[in-house]
């Protein structure tokens, strides 16, 4: 795969209502639809998320978000993977699609989370996807006053992991880019969401969503190879006010890697 230019696009999830509409798909600059060619995609919790929410609660939220997409009956088989301690980003030979808690938060303050997808710019084949959670926001598992539901947020972000874009005019859709505190709506994908997946994967081998047994994985990685042979797509959700978390992944907002992603 030839080296590719880094592209960064931010999509936000706001806390306001809108009107009805349909799905959208993510594409390369050449018009190729982003998609997974592998029939199996594993999504893992980073230890920063386990430290923040507790392992049982974090695994429950991710498991339910993964299972929410099973009724589409199309696309790659999603699996709940082992707990990881490697940094986010694409590294050749190491598949580690992860969910991370990030603090201090280097992106727009109103974002609750972003999904970074690495893909082949020529074909649209997805190579890696990481979900980054805002470590300065009041996220919880379940409905709670003045908090955002982690399961709903993860369900929305997994839609982006699969190649779906924002459904700007579909307020009943999981991919609708706005959410309110205590709102559980996004936990349940709509017919539009499933239709979007079928548009991406109908001509590709379909599979069901399931979970694999968990085990801990220890390893090392770097951000350096993130730039080779891939583009970056950032997709996000909005925040409102701050709260702390334990043992977060720490990034500097002035880190050159972040600046490239934010300002390309």
For residue 96, the model assigns a pLDDT of 85
Reference 70, options 173, 179, 166, 188; nearest CA is 188
Domain at 40-263, CATH from 3.10.150.10, 3.20.20.100, 3.40.390.10, 3.60.10.10: 3.40.390.10
Q: How many CA atoms lie within 13 A of 231 on its CB side?
A: 21
Q: Report the alpha-carbon distance of residue 90 to residue 67 in Å, rounded.
A: 25
Residues 118/6, Cβ–Cβ less than 8 Å: no
CA angle 102, 214, 68 (to 5 degrees): 70
Q: What is the pLDDT of residue 249?
A: 43
Residue-level pLDDT at 13: 42
Task: Look at residue 90 in the predicted model and tell me its pLDDT.
Answer: 85
Structure tokens at 62: 């991710």
DSSP label at residue 257: H
- Strand-pair category, 126-134 with 97-102: parallel
Output the pLDDT for position 248.
39
Evaluate whether 31 touches 201 at the Cβ level (below 8 Å): no
Q: Where are the beta strands (DSSP E) in the chain?
A: 40-45, 77-80, 97-102, 111-119, 126-134, 139-140, 148-149, 231-238
By the 10 Å C-beta count (0-12 exposed, 13-18 middle, 19+ buried), 214 is classed as: middle
pLDDT confidence of residue 99:
97
pLDDT tens track for 185-199:
999 999 999 999 999
Between CA 147 and CA 159 the distance in angstroms is 22
Note whether 178 and 19 are within 8 A (CB).
no
- pLDDT number for residue 157: 96
Contact 43, 97 (CB under 8 A): yes
pTM: 0.76
Give every CB contact of residue 246 below 8 A, 6+ residues apart in sequence. 51, 52
State pLDDT tens for residues 230-243. 334 444 444 433 33
Burial 218-247 (b: 16+ CB within 10 A, else e): eeebebeebbebbbbbbbbbbbeeeeebee
Below-50 pLDDT ranges, the chain: 1-21, 206-264
């Amino acid at each position: 795969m030839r080296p590719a230019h880094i592209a960064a696009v931010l999509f936000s999830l706001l806390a306001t209502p809108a009107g009805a509409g349909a799905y959208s798909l993510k594409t390369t600059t050449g018009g190729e639809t982003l998609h997974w060619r592998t029939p199996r995609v594993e999504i893992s919790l980073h230890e920063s998320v386990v430290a923040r929410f507790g392992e049982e609660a974090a695994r429950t939220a991710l498991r339910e978000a993964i299972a929410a997409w099973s009724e589409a009956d199309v696309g790659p088989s999603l699996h709940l993977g082992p707990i990881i301690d490697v940094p986010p980003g694409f590294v050749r030979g190491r598949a580690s699609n992860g969910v991370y808690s990030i603090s201090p938060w280097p992106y727009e303050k109103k974002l609750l989370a972003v999904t970074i997808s690495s893909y082949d710019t020529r074909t649209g084949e997805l190579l890696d996807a990481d979900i980054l959670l805002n470590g300065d926001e009041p996220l919880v598992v379940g409905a709670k006053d003045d908090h955002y539901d982690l399961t709903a947020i993860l369900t929305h972000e997994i839609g982006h992991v699969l190649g779906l874009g924002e459904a700007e005019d579909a307020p009943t859709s999981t991919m609708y880019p706005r959410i309110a505190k205590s709102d559980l709506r996004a936990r349940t994908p709509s017919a539009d969401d499933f239709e979007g997946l079928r548009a991406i994967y109908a001509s590709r081998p379909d599979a069901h969503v399931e979970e694999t047994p968990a085990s801990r994985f220890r390893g090392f990685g770097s951000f350096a190879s993130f730039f080779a042979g891939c583009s970056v797509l950032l997709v996000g959700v909005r925040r409102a006010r701050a709260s702390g978390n334990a043992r977060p992944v720490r990034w500097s907002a002035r880190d050159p890697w972040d600046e490239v992603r934010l300002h390309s």
